[in-house]
Amino acid sequence: MAENEMEETQEKKGLNFVEQMVYDDLQAGKNGGRLNTRFPPEPNGYLHIGHAKAICMDFGVAEKFGGTCNLRFDDTNPVKEDVEYVDSIREDIHWLGFDWGDREYYASDYFPQLYDLAVRMIKEGKAYVDDQTSEQIAQQKGTPTTPGVESPYRSRSVEENLDLFHRMNAGEFDEGARVLRAKIDMTSDNMHFRDPIMYRIIKHPHHRTGTKWNVYPMYDFAHGQSDYFEGVTHSICTLEFVPHRPLYEYFVKELADETYCPRQIEFNRLNLTYTVMSKRKLLQLVKEGLVAGWDDPRMPTISGMRRRGFTPRSIRNFIDKIGYTKYEALNSVSLLEHAVREDLNAVSTRVMAVVNPVKLIIANYPEDKVEMVDMENNPEDPTAGTHSMPFSREIYIEREDFMENPPKKFFRLAPEGEVRLKGAYIVKCTGVKKNENGDIEEIYCTYDPDTRSGLPGSMRKVKGTLHWVSARHAIDATARMYDRLFDVENPAAETDKDFRELLNPDSLKVVTGIKVEPYLAENARPLEHFQFQRVGYFTPDKESTADNLIFNRTIALKDSWEKAQKK
Ligand code: ATP
Ligand code: MG
């Protein structure tokens, strides 16, 4: 990108602090003017909305300044990793709208070079094999205010270290029997410099390299070097890696020179109210069957949000809005929900569905008559067109839309009262039929034939408009009503409780026998977005078929939680 063009971008858009640093490096001609970022997920779980924030940064900054972004699987721990996760991660990044082209890499691709580097460091007296247990090593680490203690194995000869390290990898020793450590400084102010572990023994087959290796590099020894091997210029990560940065630089300098050296930059993680984001906890929810899998629509995973009916654009808009800073914060999930409503309002098809139906019979409407009425698909989108919906003598309306003894400001249907049936006629209630328990079974009305849209009487004003479906034509469907998975604001802060005790017992209610308009039998395909008028946004579940329609409630039309909190 030309210099003046870049300046213009900066002025127009306002750069966040990471973009500013990248921009400054490009201006200064660092790394020969190249820009290459990477997104480095560990394939030990599905991606969540926090990862989306990192993805938008890593891919976004590359896009903005004409660079590239690699996808690198950080697969250094075979015990927890799996190809299922690799596949899901690819799918989720694409769905969010980003692409890594042919730059798909794996930390495991670099195991040979990393091993060679470790051997070189041993030869140069910069690494040693420690025979102590991890507990002993942890005990000797010291505290931020007291220095650590040197391992009794620290001064082993180069020959002995080389021999032991090779034998560690040959599989001669048990897991935990020995580690390779960097020989740096047990008195350093930075705890990460107190002879950090570079390699440990793991005897679990790896999903890509099989049983080739018996030693696996630690994150700190693998990450910076992998960045270097790939030519990454800016290694953008979250704030908890700030104290690791000196070690990142220490190891990278074993390889890099002043013509090319990757740079680590940190931003604040995404934390959301009413949500847990730890992959360990999410895995536990899945494993223990507390949710229906990683893509359960209540999960904060990308796949869960997709199944629930969130759009990629709403997620990106939300991330844009909260921005990137250097301070940890807890963001309100209402902001995300607001972004979802805003986008769904723009893109979803309006349909009629009655969730809690009661029958309404129009006594003066001919028994066999069916009229087709036109329904606007989306008033927000002039190109969306219309679809038609049958009207007949017997229809369903929501039970809540009728009251026998209504309070003053009830603008829906009541005895002797009038309402408009959306897109059709004005009806007047003439009576009801009750069962022996006193529950209303049927509502009787008469209609005014002159009030259909297009006819003169259509201008007549009544206070309420109801949604409805023709009873004869309605299709039965199931609605899964999702709510927040946790009912405390900050589950991570409730450290005295097991997080599973904080689950919202009402996070899923399944409602069967809802009545939907026949249009949906043909048109309700998984992942499409519908607004059930006056009810909420719904998306057909992946299990939904034309014969068995199942809808996930993406979100209610209005934020009832916010209202409840303001009370
Ligand atoms: P863990 O290391 O505990 O398995 P992780 O969430 O760090 O979990 P990774 O797969 O290592 O998982 O994350 C990949 C990238 O996503 C990292 O660069 C990480 O900083 C970033 N990331 C993870 N969680 C968040 C979050 N909540 N907000 C922003 N970025 C995140
Ligand atoms: Mg991580």
Q: What is the pLDDT of residues 471-510, one digit of tens each?
A: 999 999 999 999 999 999 999 999 999 999 999 999 999 9
Residue 134 Cα, ligand 2 centroid: separation in angstroms? Answer: 21
Residue 6 pLDDT greater than 70, yes or no: no
- Give the tens place of pLDDT for each residue, 375-394: 999 999 999 999 999 999 99
Ligand 1, atom 16: closest residue by C-alpha: 51
Q: Which residues line ligand 1 at a C-beta cut-off of 6 Å?
A: 40-42, 44, 50-51, 53-54, 74, 237-238, 269-270, 277, 279
Q: How far apart are CA 271 and CA 298, in angstroms?
A: 16
Ligand 1, atom 10: closest residue by C-alpha: 41
Helix (H) or strand (E) holding 428: strand 426-434
- Give the tens place of pLDDT for each residue, 288-320: 999 999 999 999 999 999 999 999 999 999 999
State which ligand 1 atom lies nearest to the alpha carbon of 80: 4
Ligand 1, atom 29: closest residue by C-alpha: 269
| Selection from 551, 559, 560, 558 nearest residue 354 by Cα | 551
Ligand number, closest to the Cα atom of 44: 1
Residue-level pLDDT at 20 = 97
| Selection from 407, 413, 525 nearest residue 462 by Cα | 413
Residue-level pLDDT at 562 = 54
**pLDDT band at residue 207 using 50, 70 and 90 as cut-offs:** very high
State which ligand 1 atom lies nearest to the alpha carbon of 270: 28
Residue 439 Cα, ligand 2 centroid: separation in angstroms? Answer: 57
- Give the tens place of pLDDT for each residue, 391-428: 999 999 999 999 999 999 999 999 999 999 999 999 99
Ligand 1, atom 23: closest residue by C-alpha: 51
**pLDDT band at residue 469 using 50, 70 and 90 as cut-offs:** very high
Ligand number, closest to the Cα atom of 38: 1
| Selection from 345, 275, 381 nearest residue 53 by Cα | 275
Q: How far apart are CA 42 and CA 75, in angstroms?
A: 6
Residue 135 pLDDT greater than 90, yes or no: yes
Average pLDDT over residues 27-56: 97
Instruction: Give the global pTM.
Output: 0.94
Catalytic residues: 42, 269, 279
- Give the tens place of pLDDT for each residue, 179-188: 999 999 999 9
Residue 11 pLDDT greater than 80, yes or no: no
CB 93 within 8 A of CB 55: yes
State which ligand 1 atom lies nearest to the alpha carbon of 42: 10
